[in-house]
Chains A and B, each alone.
Chain A
Amino acid sequence: MISKGRKLTDPNEGLLRRAFKKGKSSQILDQITNRSRASAAAFEPRKIDEALSVNVESPLLEARLPLTWSADPDRQYVARITVGDCIKQNLEAYHCPDLPKNPHHGHIWGLVEMRVIDEDQYERPSTLSRVRAQLYQTTPNQKQSDPGSRHEDAYCFAPIGKASPPTNRASKARLNTAAASALSITIRSLFCRLRPEAEKLAAPPVDLVALEVHRGARLVLDPYLDARRLGEVIKNLRGPRARQAESHQ
């Protein structure tokens, strides 16, 4: 158990959470509030964490440091919420310096407990991931030489595809050959990225055409199916009647 430190009670006190950028679009434009906010992933504690790490605003300002302090401007941005936001969600915020590395360090307690007690409650938008955080970003040019500089980054969404009339086409069976084969190649390359040693495999990890054949034959594939075993006839996929018949033999 780590020491909680000094409890923060001023509802206006700022708490700054670093989040990783992904291209230009990690910050999202909330369609309900029409404001930029951090994605849900920004306020996720790790499995090993007891609390969510943040920086506390007032010690940063006292030290004349920017709110984006300790964030890598090339890869990260900062989302600011307040102690008041935490209190509203039945969470507690503490200033607990991590000396000598980070005297401005703090923790938000309660999220991890929420995740353990009720996973769905943790996911609900009442949690911090949905607080309308202010977003700050130090541009690479500014680096961290400009204390207190705040820049709300404009959000840019990927261009939308040219859609034909919408229909109920949510099925692989409706993918045309070109898209299906491109997707098969894509999945193979993704598999290789996740597991570089898989490049040695001759066959693609998942073949959508094969998948479709299986589906047409009314076989149900399990998500835990090892992709390298595609093509093998796996006994437990034969269904209860087939298994019953086998056991009688």
Chain B
Amino acid sequence: MRRAPPQPEATQRVSTVPPPLSKVTPSVLTVAPEGERPDSPAALTERSVRVTLVEELRKALIEAIELSKTMVAEDEAAPINEQTYFYAVEVLAPLIIAMELPVPLILPLQNGGIGAEWHDRGMNIELRFRNPYHIYAVLEDAQGAIQPFHGRDPFLVQTLAALREVSTRASERD
């Protein structure tokens, strides 16, 4: 089974109003390559938010590995499946960073898979990565903007709509 070809990218809207500078801004200064100057405070902020997201995501992923190790040591779960784990990282990381989503709760599943859950902004979004391409999604929206969905979503077609909705609601309230 092969990955779907990349979707044509929609025109990216650019905010004309710079978002408020956040406390995470300084972190970019330690990560941005030398000589690469941000064009504007907005660009700087967006970049820093993304780098911070990577860091938060890294922590969540490491915690998931550590929890998996604990569960395996106590014979409570099968070891995490590397292929599934990195497939999940490959799928989730660009989405989280590009859409600037909150970092999900990432939990090892007992049979070696990995789960990612967002429960925020009126949305329940649960993704269970059983194997690469075997992704079961549970999508629920208290506001009814997104139709409930419980089923396999190997290319995250349904999930993307729900994640965009989370991103929209986050930006509206911030």
A residues with a Cβ closer than 8 A to B are: 20, 22-23, 25-26, 28-32, 39-41, 44-47, 75, 119-120, 123-125, 157-179, 181-183, 186-187, 189-191, 193-195, 205-206, 215, 218, 220-224, 227
* 30 pairs from A and B in contact (CB 8 Å cutoff): A20-B76, A29-B119, A31-B121, A39-B107, A44-B110, A47-B112, A75-B70, A120-B152, A125-B138, A157-B102, A157-B120, A158-B103, A160-B174, A161-B101, A162-B45, A163-B100, A165-B171, A166-B99, A166-B168, A168-B7, A170-B95, A170-B99, A171-B9, A173-B6, A175-B50, A179-B51, A183-B93, A190-B85, A206-B90, A223-B86
Besides A32-B140, A40-B115, A166-B99, 12 new A-B residue pairs in contact (Cβ under 8 A), listed by A number: A26-B105, A47-B112, A123-B128, A161-B100, A163-B170, A170-B94, A172-B98, A177-B32, A179-B54, A179-B97, A206-B90, A224-B132
Q: If A45-B110, A124-B150, A168-B10 touch, does A160 touch B102 (CB 8 Å cutoff)? A: yes
Q: Which of B11, B61, B94, B142 contacts A186 (CB 8 A)?
A: B61
For the complex, what is the distance from the CA of A205 to the CA of B52, rounded to whole Å?
22
For the complex, what is the distance from the CA of A85 to the CA of B101, rounded to whole Å?
34
Q: If A47-B78, A174-B12 touch, does A222 touch B174 (CB 8 Å cutoff)? A: no
Q: Which residues of B contact A181 (CB under 8 A)?
A: 31, 33
Main secondary structure of the interface of A (DSSP, over half): loop
**Chain A residue, CB-CB nearest to B100:** A163
B residues with a Cβ closer than 8 A to A are: 2-3, 5-7, 9-13, 15, 19-20, 22, 28, 31-33, 36, 42, 45-47, 49-58, 61-65, 67, 70-71, 76-78, 80, 82-83, 85-87, 89-90, 93-95, 97-103, 105-112, 115, 117, 119-124, 126, 128, 130, 132-133, 136, 138, 140-142, 150-152, 160, 163-164, 167-168, 170-171, 174
CB distance from B2 to the nearest CB of A (A): 5
Q: Which residues of A contact B123 (CB under 8 A)?
A: 31
**Chain A residue, CB-CB nearest to B104:** A158
In contact, A175 and B65 (Cβ under 8 angstroms): no
